[in-house]
Amino acid sequence: MNRNFRFKVTLDGIEPPIWRAFQTPDDLTFAELHSTLQIVMGWENAHLHQFSVGQLHFSDPITAVEFNDKDEYRHRVADFVKPGDSIRYLYDFGDGWEHTVTLTAVMPEAESLPYSICLAGARACPPEDCGGVWGYADLLHALQHPDDPEHEELLEWYGGDLDPEAFDLDEVNAILRQ
């Protein structure tokens, strides 16, 4: 069995913060980190993404060619980060969801698991395509104020009530187990 990495990811620009702490095997590629981030954060994997470590950028093979990035399937996270280092993760080039992913610890083999697990988190992930940090703030305001002129339209677009405080650790871990 390998060691594990412990990460904390925070969605930048949102207060109070939306964050997750999670643990993965230490041999993961950037592509595997992307898949894990999609699950722990609650995204739908519907948009392009890119990792940045210093001046290096990693993305899927098609985006990598277009932007002269490194292929995320060919590079392991462990080769580029050490405890305390942060990775910038951009999801959805249009909405511009920026995340700070910090490697908080390397767990000894005796405390490691052969799979990924979410350890903790706070607040719900914003819905896809809501317009980034500012669009999300506008959405929350309109949904919480029935007198807002955009309330009905946004309620229909979203499809119901949105609880920005909701986070279900058990549900996240059930999806990770799949």
Angle at 137 between CA 133 and CA 138, to 5 degrees: 120
Q: Residue 53: name the closest of 100, 104, 19, 116 by CA.
A: 100
Domain spans, the chain: 4-124+164-177, 127-162
CA distances 137 to 40, 86, 132, 165, Å, are: 21, 26, 9, 14
pLDDT at 139: 87
pLDDT at 121: 98
> Kind and range of the H or E element at 87?
strand 86-91
Contact between residue 155 and residue 18 where contact means Cβ atoms under 8 Å apart: no
Structure letter (DSSP) for residue 66: H
pLDDT at 1: 56
Q: Block means of pLDDT (10 residues each) for the chain, length 178 residues?
A: 91 97 97 98 97 98 94 98 98 98 94 94 95 92 83 76 92 96
- Whole-model pTM? 0.94
Angle at 148 between CA 123 and CA 141, to 5 degrees: 15
Q: How many Cβ atoms are within 10 Å of 119's Cβ, its own excluded?
A: 14
pLDDT at 158: 75
For the domain 4-124+164-177, what is the CATH code? 3.10.290.30
Buried b (16+ CB within 10 A) or exposed e, 69-92: bbbbeebebbebbeeeebbebbbb
**Distance between alpha carbon 1 and the CA centroid of its chain, in Å?**
26
